[in-house]
Amino acid sequence: MRLHHIPGSRSFRVLWLLEELGEEAELRLWSLTDGGLRSAEFRALSPAGRIPALEVDGRAIFESGAIVQYLTETRGRLAPPPGAVERADFLEWISFAETQAAQLQNLNIHHIFLRPETARSVAMMRLDTRRLELTMRAMEAHLTGRDWLLGSFSAAECMFGFNMEAAFRFVRREGFPALAAWAARCAARPAYRRAVQKGGGSLYAQDFYEVPDA
């Protein structure tokens, strides 16, 4: 098994899940900036040139949500099985993680990658910050009085692995006690710590990124 990975990216979702499942995988590291993701080699694995891709069971799978679903179904752990009443909840959270990640990606582009700074759109930064906050408020409401998104820890949590490192960089944690406590529980898991040690990393040079004045 080989995971194509960039520290601080969505591929951390898969790396964390592999650790939770006790599955060994070789890590192939790529860069966001050297053009490798546009190479024919990588696009044969992931046609849009996006991380992650996982070589497993004689084939390559791209898109983190698809990889998470495939691994839980084929390994028979950390997700309600197809046909179970709770399966719809699991699938909702997998998709919701990607909805939230889209806002985080936009904010990463504006705050970190877009140069010169005058190319940024302050209006879009404010809009994406508000959209991110809405997703966080939905999670706060759901997690109040719960330890995990479903009845127990599941791969749905792993889908938020990329998001947890980022969300409180753009929205202050005051007012989100349940969400902050859940993120701390996730980060304290031995499998999460092993994943960070093997392939963790951060895009962020600051603890918090303010939206600049227009």
| Amino acid 33: pLDDT | 87
Could you state, in chain order, the average pLDDT of each consecutive group of 10 residues for the chain (214 residues)? 95 98 97 93 96 97 97 97 95 97 96 89 96 98 98 97 93 96 97 95 92 84
| Amino acid 138: pLDDT | 98
* Cα–Cα distance for residue pair 131/31, rounded to 1 Å: 28
H or E, element range at 56? strand 53-56
| Amino acid 200: pLDDT | 84
| Amino acid 168: pLDDT | 97
| Amino acid 32: pLDDT | 87
Q: Name every residue whose Cβ is closer than 8 Å to that of residue 110 and which is 6 or more positions away in sequence.
A: 120, 121, 124, 125, 128
Please determine, looking at this structure, whether the domain spanning 2-75 carries the CATH number 3.40.30.10. Answer: yes
Which residues sit opposite 2 in a β-bridge?
26, 55
Q: What is the DSSP letter of 86?
A: T
| Amino acid 162: pLDDT | 86
Q: Is the dihedral of CA 157, 158, 163, 168 positive or negative?
A: positive
Could you tell me the residue ranges of all domains in the chain? 2-75, 87-189
Domain at 87-189: CATH code: 1.20.1050.10
Strand 53-56 with 2-5, pairing: antiparallel
